[in-house]
Amino acid sequence: MDIVRRNTDYALRAMLNLAQNFGDGASSTRNIAAEEDITYQLACKLMQKLHNAKLVKSCMGPTGGFRLSKDPSRISLLEVIEAIQGPIELNRCLLNVDACPRQPDCPVSKRLAELQKHIRRYLDSVTLDKLIRSNSKNKKRKNRAKIHNPKRRKNKG
């Protein structure tokens, strides 16, 4: 069972691409697809879903494409996930009370509901800008490690 499906992963990559270029104008679907290793056809479908969810805006014309509809600090992973694959549900019994007649007294259902709340809360707390910042910090650490720990040649004496 995948909580985050493959298409959603591609959409997250596309959104991070737009977030990294936030304020620099629109990015074409072809560029996003090429830079993020997504087929052009799939990228078109994903961008349409993201547009319908009002997470991106489209711009027409020769320099057109897509850009985020709001600051990356105001777009959560949960919003992107739900735009592509719908609400996160760990089990059908959590959809509504009518889905399972045992739900009100079921100890498993109660625990799954708690877990689902934690997952949703966590995904809602992670924004695109947080992901970008954490990634740039990791890149800086790796670069510093290369500078401070160059491979040394052993002198044969």
Q: Give me the DSSP letters along 89-138.
A: -SSGGGT-GGG-TTGGG-HHHHHHHHHHHHHHHHHHH-BHHHHHHHHHHH
Q: Between 61 and 130, name the one with better pLDDT.
A: 130
Q: What's the CA angle centered on 51, arms 90 and 123, to 5 degrees?
A: 35
Show Cβ contacts of residue 64 under 8 Å, excluding neighbours closer than 6 positions: 26, 28, 58
Residue 69 pLDDT > 60, yes or no?
Answer: yes
Number of domains in the chain: 1
Encoded amino acid at 65, one letter: G
- Please check whether residue 90 lies inside any domain of the structure: yes
> In this structure, what are the phi and psi dihedrals at residue 153, rounded to the nearest 5 degrees?
-80, 140
Q: Which domain holds residue 129?
A: 6-148
Residue 157 forms part of a structural domain: no
Residue 156 lies in a domain: no
Is 154 part of any domain? no
* Residue 48 is assigned to a structural domain of this protein: yes
Give pLDDT tens digits for 99-150: 777 777 888 888 888 999 999 999 999 999 999 998 766 565 555 565 655 5
Identify the CATH number of the domain in which residue 105 sits. 1.10.10.10
Residue pLDDT, tens place only, 34-45: 999 999 999 999
- Give a yes or no: residue 96 inside a domain: yes
Instruction: Give domain status of residue 79, yes or no.
Output: yes
Q: Which residues contact 75 (CB under 8 A, 6 or more apart)?
A: 15, 19, 55, 68, 127, 128
Measure CA 66 to chain center: 16
pLDDT higher than 90, residue 64: no
Inside any domain, residue 155: no
Beta bridge partners of 68: 56
Mean pLDDT of 49-76: 94
pLDDT exceeds cutoff 70 at 98: yes
The pLDDT value recorded for residue 139 is 60
